Amino acid sequence: MNLELRNSIEQFLQRASQNSLAGERNSYEEAEAINTKLDGLISSWYINELFDKAIIP
């Protein structure tokens, strides 16, 4: 897992934990933005893994 992906996931979990402790919820827009960013990072990480392992010639 690349560092950028790991950092994004950790930031998301920290914010979710802080919001939960404060009794707040993330807005739908914020959740969608986070989800979109994570999807992109996971996709690029997966593609890089495929190239690194020579699954894609």
Q: Is the pTM of this model over 0.75?
A: no
Closest CA to 25 of 34, 12, 33, 16: 16
Euclidean distance between CA atoms 17 and 24, whole angstroms: 10
> How do the pLDDT tens digits run along the chain, 57 residues long?
577 777 877 787 777 767 666 555 656 777 777 778 888 888 887 887 777 776 655
Residue ranges of domains in the chain: 3-52
Euclidean distance between CA atoms 34 and 23, whole angstroms: 19
Q: Which pLDDT does position 19 carry in this prediction?
A: 66
Q: Which pLDDT does position 11 carry in this prediction?
A: 81
Closest CA to 2 of 57, 54, 47: 47
Strands (E), the chain: none
Q: Which pLDDT does position 41 carry in this prediction?
A: 81
